[in-house]
Amino acid sequence: MMRDAEQIIRTEYSELMQKSYIDYAMSVIIARALPDVRDGLKPVQRRVLYDMHELGILHDKPYRKCARIVGDTMGKYHPHGDSSIYDALVVMAQEFKKGMPLVDGHGNFGSIEGDGAAAMRYTEARLKKIAQEAYLSDLDKDVVDFGPNFDETEKEPVVLPVRVPNILINGAEGIAVGMATSIPPHNFGEVIEGVKAYMQNPDINTEQMMEYIKGPDFPTGGIVVNQDELRAIYATGTGKIKIRGKVEVEKGKGGKDKIVITEIPYTMVGLGIGKFLNDVGNLAETKKTTDIVDISNQSSKEGIRIVLELKKGADAERICNLLYKKTRLEDTFGVNMLAVADGKPETMGLVPMIRHHVRFQFEIATRKYRTLLQRELEKREIQEGLIRACDVIDLIIEILRGSKHIKEARACLIEGEIGNIRFKSEASRRQAAELRFSEPQAKAILEMRLYKLIGLEMEALRKEYDATLRQIKRYETLLGSRKAMANAIIKELDAFQKEYAVARKTAIENGKEIVLEEPKMEELDVVFLMDRFGYAKTIDVAAYERNKEAADSESRHVIVCKNTDKIGLFTNQGQMHLLKVADLPYGKFRDKGQPVDNLSNYNSSEDDLLFVGSLRGMHEKKLLFATKTGMLKIVEGAEFDVSKRTTAATKLLEGDEAVRIGWYEEGLHLVLQSKKGMFLRIEASSVPEKKKGAVGVRGIKLSEGDEVTEVHLFMPGESRRVALKDKELELNRLRVGSRDTKGVRHT
């Protein structure tokens, strides 16, 4: 039996990966993460709203379980996880996240403080009236295209016929592949005014548009404090908006004031409130301020109310500035107005977004009125047929009574065929042969009920016909004149504005730059003590002198420094972690101290600590570095005076690590000791000075599998012994050799 040969397609792997990744990226961008500029909705939001509309969960109908909505959406339109669908549904119902919520939620839909919504089996929802009227109406009038769903068993709208610029009203946030969108919400009434202004003047610029749309309007209120920068942000579609919470100072009894936060920055919504409370607590704990006595979150359904109680006579203005500077009470909202336009992602300013919206409105309106005109023309045709039929009703009855089948009667009405029909008179026959009703008219005549022949019914039919003619004329006028169409769109926008516009919540101003004068720390001499367990503290110099013997014996590192100094912690991985002396506990000699792991980026469970020194003390000194592979170098101490909390102190080759870091002095000698018992004594002056980013030079030639385990630093004449298996080796008696030699074996 012959087997079909396998078809093997040979292709370049990199090209295949590139094409596949680009396809995946575009799928995420277009079909998941970014909103469409026309309706301002991501696919999951669009599908949820459409499904609710299809299920008939309207604003004036009872609530339905969210689990039903999520399941139906997932089964018909959105074949992804139920959590993503429910999350989208919840956000559309949260008034503190959306400028204009589209879903009316019933039950626990989360809170502004970051509490999650209850499970979908407990919550219920229905559409808001605005969503029904401005987002989902006229879907039966061919206003938008429909496409197949994921398994081609249903049809879903490619875009919803949204009548208002939702992308600006509700904003959008989304992370795609290689790009992200972040559009702030705006005031409903202002945006409508902006759209009307554009329709009256398509050449309007950003500055003119901002006379109507003043800036973002966050549902949490707050204050935008960089008004002058908004024009550039709205012109380019990118930038940073500075927002502050709204703060009031309430006078308390006995001169004890209260700072009350009544509105928060939009970026603080969710877990940010809890973090803010922690940050304020940390300010008090770290003594950044001693004026805050208590903090309480008294927020309720009525709104945000965070109360900070102050000491008597405290400077409330300074504390407010401290909160703005050190916490997220002042924050930035990164703007990147990216949306899908004409099938591709595009960053747009304010005016281009409105331009896309208006173009979409004309497209919707044109398709709507074309559909309505076609319906009225069909209605007119039938009405004309019925009116004409009523004038010859006796003849039509005669035709019906003389026909054996309905086909014969229909053929007579449409084409005048009289062959098989019996007539009472020849005149009737001749008259019937001249009938030429259209097919829809003939169908309507045959289905007409006898009561339609009553005089009043005939009069009503003629009135309907006159109304149909008026509608046809109106629709033809709208379709024939862009100005008339624009007026119809504006009239509809006016109705939405009248019913749904609300007062602005976010104030917009040019706030003063916060200047916070840090109280200058009085510079003092202190002694840094760190024990072998990594606990560190600082004590007064006099306290050290009194306990010198105990301090030196119990401490692994003892450094005299200033309280404004920084301590460098050098590790075997070639990293230097900075530790501020001011962050260390300052107190009594017998106080325990704090682990340096908690006060710096150093992790004692991962790295070994090789050297500790004050940055100020390094300025006039040099450090000597030695590594496992025998690399040596000397570095100026001033190179380590950096501001980064963690920096590379030396460059290490792959698999290498530092073995010894110590002070370099004139006349210093060093002995390199290897795992296989090789010892090499050299003068430290033979080691060249290098930058901290250099690898260094080779100090000892190592055999295969050998490595440096110890590096001993000492001055000539200084006694230094090393214990071997059954003897001690006096390092000072070793012969001084040359750098980059093998040394001698001692075991």
Q: What's the CA gap between 346 and 323, in Å, rounded? A: 37
Pick from 386, 354, 98, 387: nearest CA to 217: 98
Q: What's the CA gap between 32 and 346, in Å, rounded? A: 15
3-class SS letters over 3-42? CCCCCCCCCCHHHHHHHHHHHHHHHHHHHHHCCECCCCCC
Q: What's the CA gap between 61 and 560, in Å, rounded? A: 77
Q: What's the CA gap between 736 and 671, in Å, rounded? A: 9
Q: 10 Å Cβ neighbour count for 229?
A: 15
Pick from 518, 519, 537, 535: nearest CA to 527: 537
Could you report how far apart the first and last alpha carbons of the chain are, in Å? 77
Q: 10 Å Cβ neighbour count for 291?
A: 20
C-beta separation of 575 from 648 below 8 A: yes
Q: What's the CA gap between 26 and 448, in Å, rounded? A: 56
Q: Which ranges constitute the DSSP H helices of 244-402?
A: 272-285, 316-326, 350-391, 393-402
Q: Which amino acid is present at 447? A: E
Buried b / exposed e over 235-261, threshold 16 CB at 10 Å, is: bbbebebbbbbbbeeeeeeeeebbbbb
Pick from 212, 208, 181: nearest CA to 194: 212
Q: In which element (H, E) is residue 180 found?
A: strand 180-183
Q: Which residue has the tokens 């009544």?
A: 262
CA distances from 466 to 381, 451, 461, 469 (A): 12, 21, 9, 5
3-class SS letters over 691-744? CCCCCCEECECCCCCCCEEEEEEECCCCCCEEECCCCEEEHHHCCECCCCECCE
**Which of the residues 122, 198, 324, 544 is marked catalytic?**
122
Buried b / exposed e over 98-117, threshold 16 CB at 10 Å, is: bbbbbbbbebebbbbbeeeb
Q: What's the CA gap between 442 and 446, in Å, rounded? A: 6
Pairing of strands 721-723, 575-580: unpaired
Burial class of residue 574 in the structure, from the number of CB atoms within 10 Å of its CB (0-12 exposed, 13-18 middle, 19+ buried): buried
Q: Is 122 a catalytic residue?
A: yes
C-beta separation of 673 from 706 below 8 A: no
Q: Which ranges constitute the DSSP H helices of 481-595?
A: 482-500, 541-546, 548-554
Query: Which two three-digit tokens encode residue 716?
Result: 């000539």
For every residue of 623-689, DSSP letters joined together read: EEEEETT-EEEEEEGGGG---SSEEESS---TT--EEEEEEE-TT-EEEEEETTSEEEEEEGGGSPB
What percentage of the chain's residues is helix, strand, coil (to nearest 5)?
Answer: 40, 25, 40
C-beta separation of 264 from 316 below 8 A: no
| Main-chain phi, psi angles of 162, to 5 degrees | -75, 125
Pairing of strands 535-540, 586-587: parallel
C-beta separation of 572 from 608 below 8 A: yes
Q: What's the CA gap between 157 and 171, in Å, rounded? A: 21
Which residues are designated catalytic?
122
